[in-house]
Amino acid sequence: MNLASFLPLKPVELQLLLALSEQELHGYGLVQHIDQQTDGVIRLEPGNLYRVIKRLLADGLVAESESRPVPELGEERRRYYRITPIGSRVLAAELKRLRSLLASAKARAVVKRWAT
């Protein structure tokens, strides 16, 4: 398995895998989680979310878990998603890539000069 062929991940994919790396989540849970993590920069709706999920499912990075009741919603059931082992490895590879990018001298200089 060539992990590098998956990289770089799109920001949405990265956030989604990150969210799932902590816990299994259903669609609405994912949206809320990502909204908080990115301060509302990445906002997902039924349209774009399931397109991304479909792609990640096809690539085998996430998998469907069973449908089960959501505690906050009473008896209503939702489908949960989980990250696969490959997904975790791809996520780790991407984070490593980003870390080395952030650690590069060039990146540091830019941040030092321009970030407020």
Partner 1 sequence: MTEQDRRHLAAFTLLQRLYPADFRRRFGADQRDLFRDQLREQRERRGRPGIALYWARVVPSMLRSALAEHVDSLRDRPARALSADLHPLRDSMLHSVLADLRFSLRMLRRSPVFTVVSVVIIALGSGAVTTTWSALRALVMRPVPGATQGERLAGLSLRNTENGREMTMTRTAMERLLVRNRTLTGLAGWNRSNATVQSDAGSVAVSSVQVTGGYFQVLGARAALGRVLTPEDDATVGARPVAVLSHLFWQTQFAGDPAVIGQTIRINRVALTVVGVMGPDFRGAMPIVSDDVYVPTAITTVLFGTRPAGTPEYVRPIGRLRDGVTFDDATRDLTSILASVAADPDERPEDRRRNSATATMLRAVPEDARGPFQGFLSILVGGAALVLLIASVNVASMLSARAVARAREMNVRRALGAGRWRLIRQLLIETLVLFAMGTAGGVGLAFMATNALEAVRLPVDRSPVIEITPDGRALLVSLGVSLFTALVFGLAPALQGAGRDVATRLRDNSAGAGQRRGIGGRLLIVGQLAASLVLLVSAGLFVRVLDEARRTHPGFATDGIVAASLLPGSWGYSPDRISSVLSTVKERAGTLAGVSDVAFADRLPMTAATSQASIEVPGHERVRSDGSVGGIEVSTAQVGDGYFRTLQQPMLEGREFTVGDLTGDAPVVIVNQTLARQLWPDGSALGRSFRIAGRAVTVVGVAGDARYNTVADAVPPVFYSPLNSTSNRFLVVRTAAPPAQAIGDLRGLMRSIDGDLPMPVISTLQQATAVGLFPQRVAAAATALMGGVGLLMAAVGLYGVIAYSVGRRTRELGVRMALGATRRDILLLTAREGTQLALAGTFVGLLLAAVATRFLQKLLYAVSPMDALTFAVTSSALFGVALLATWLPARRAAADSPMQALRTDG
State the minimum distance, in angstroms, from the CB of residue 77 to partner 1.
9
Q: Measured from the CB atom, is 10 or 96 closer to partner 1?
A: 10
Work out the burial of residue 42: count CB atoms within 10 Å of its CB; fewer than 13 is exposed, 13-18 middle, 19 or more buried.
middle
CB 12 within 8 A of CB 98: no
Q: Measured from the CB atom, is 47 or 71 closer to partner 1?
A: 47
Query: Which residues contribute to the site for partner 1 (CB under 8 A)?
Result: 26-28, 31, 43, 45-51, 53-54, 73, 76, 78-79
Could you tell me if residue 36 is left (phi over 0), alpha (psi between -120 and 50 degrees) or otherwise beta?
Answer: alpha
Q: Measured from the CB atom, is 6 or 80 closer to partner 1?
A: 80
